[in-house]
Amino acid sequence: MKPSTKYILILLSTFSFLFAKEAGDIKKPWTRKSYFPKWEKIKARKTFKFIYDKRISKVQNGKKLVNRIKKLKPGDKLYVSQGIYEINSHFSINLKGQPRAPIWIKAMPRTKVILTRKDNKQNMINIEDNAAYLYLGGFEIKGGSTLIKLGQCNNVWIDKNKIHDGDNVGIAANSKNCEFIYITRNEIFRPGGKNNKATSEGLYLGANNGKVVFSHSVIALNHIYECRGSQGDGIELKQGSFQNWIVENYIHDTNYPCLIVYGTGGKGINVIEGNTLLRSNDNVMQIQGDAKVINNLIINGKGVAFSSTDHQGKTKNLTVINNTIINSGVAMNLTSWNNRQNMALYNNVVYSEKKSSIRFPNGSKGVKVQGNYIFGKPEQINKGFSRGKGLKDFAKGSWDGSSTDFRLFNKAIRKKIGTQIHSINAITDKKKK
């Protein structure tokens, strides 16, 4: 290699690294102070308004809007005015912004802009392969099959949308690999609509056995509920997906777990932090492994509140710390923790009204257990915990989640393990910002 060629390659490599960092492409998103991409404050080069034409039909307005979106270029911002835009064709967004020139598609502030279709023959919105540095925010999105389907895209930000009543999944990223995706401050409910056969997950990220991977992304401040259908998980993060931060979401009233996370296949970890989860017809939270589970409020599952077991991979490398776990039945069931590597259970409040607090049905050899408070009998563990007094230890909480103020009232516990969350207002207040 000639010296000049070598220096050019070094220069290009350095430039690429700096360019990526400026774009907010951080490999471990929880190390940043923001839930949003680093390009969030970049100003548009050109701003346009799309005005609803009352002289023509909602279908014609939908067609015109789709055509206008296709013409957007890096640095453009498009504000869409109030109206119902019915889009019955295949609606693809395949726009590639740049790190310093994102493309913004926004509903006009304080208006109701509805994107819809009349049948389930197509997804409502498809964000296609190679889409990048793209913002979609402020819309009400309903109808179609899957409401938003992601292709092989990166640096896509889906923010402040009301997403509901499709015929399948709320947001799906299960057909091609995605990375650096930001799903924030959305309200997602009834993703399968009235179709009892729809899988009806709020977010379905990655695919079984690592065939599709979702990575380096942030799922934050979303309100997800009424996920029913044949499955109905709130958020499902599949095997092999890694380095994701699932933080401060409020998820409730689901058929399957409010939040289920598989393992990473050895590609790092996922961080699950500060979420409020309640009322599942199954387990409330289910974590296979390769994760840090920090400061979550987990209440009222017809199965158990917190479950951890082998699934599409082995349970390993899992730290569960500073969580508040409340259930009338079994609170915490740790089926596959015995003699597994890097397993830790620290400073959790684990309370069951009628059954076991912490269960290790197959043993707890090698598990680091320290500083926990329990109410209800433990199984296969005799150290690493103190006894609490039940709901008296909290400001105002209930076993069924009808009251969700689980801020610690017991000063002795608070002094020993620190301040947990937990009031839902702490999350919903941030969501409004």
What is the Cα 297 distance to its own chain's centre? 15
CA distance 109 to 111: 6
- Residue 262: which domain range? 45-431
State the total domains in the chain. 1
**Is residue 358 over pLDDT 50?**
yes
pLDDT tens-place string over residues 304-328: 999 999 999 999 999 999 999 999 9
Is residue 223, in this structure, part of any structural domain at all? yes
- Judged by DSSP in three states, 134 sits in strand
Pair 158, 136: CB distance under 8 Å = yes
pLDDT of amino acid 69: 99
**Is residue 23 over pLDDT 80?**
no
pLDDT of amino acid 18: 36
CA distance 309 to 286: 8
What average pLDDT does the segment 113-135 reach? 97
CA distance 68 to 76: 12
Pairing, β 404-408 against β 394-397: antiparallel
Pair 197, 8: CB distance under 8 Å = no
- Judged by DSSP in three states, 235 sits in strand
**Is residue 146 over pLDDT 90?**
yes
How high is the mean pLDDT of the chain?
91
Is residue 299, in this structure, part of any structural domain at all? yes
pLDDT tens-place string over residues 205-249: 999 999 999 999 999 999 999 999 999 999 999 999 999 999 999
What's the token pair of residue 173? 């990223």
CA 300-306-309 angle, to 5 degrees, is: 145
Percent above pLDDT 90 for the chain: 85
Is residue 37, in this structure, part of any structural domain at all? no
Distances in whole angstroms, Cα of residue 47 to Cα of each of 1, 32, 73, 82: 47, 29, 11, 17
Is residue 9, in this structure, part of any structural domain at all? no
Is residue 123, in this structure, part of any structural domain at all? yes
Is residue 72, in this structure, part of any structural domain at all? yes
Is residue 268, in this structure, part of any structural domain at all? yes
CA distance 308 to 324: 16
pLDDT tens-place string over residues 192-211: 999 999 999 999 999 999 99
Pair 205, 161: CB distance under 8 Å = no
Q: What is the CATH number of the domain that holds 130?
A: 2.160.20.10
Is residue 35, in this structure, part of any structural domain at all? no
**Is residue 433 over pLDDT 70?**
no
Look at residues 294, 171, 168, 290 and name the one whose alpha carbon lies nearest to residue 231: 168
pTM: predicted TM-score of the whole model, two decimal places: 0.92
**Is residue 41 over pLDDT 60?**
yes
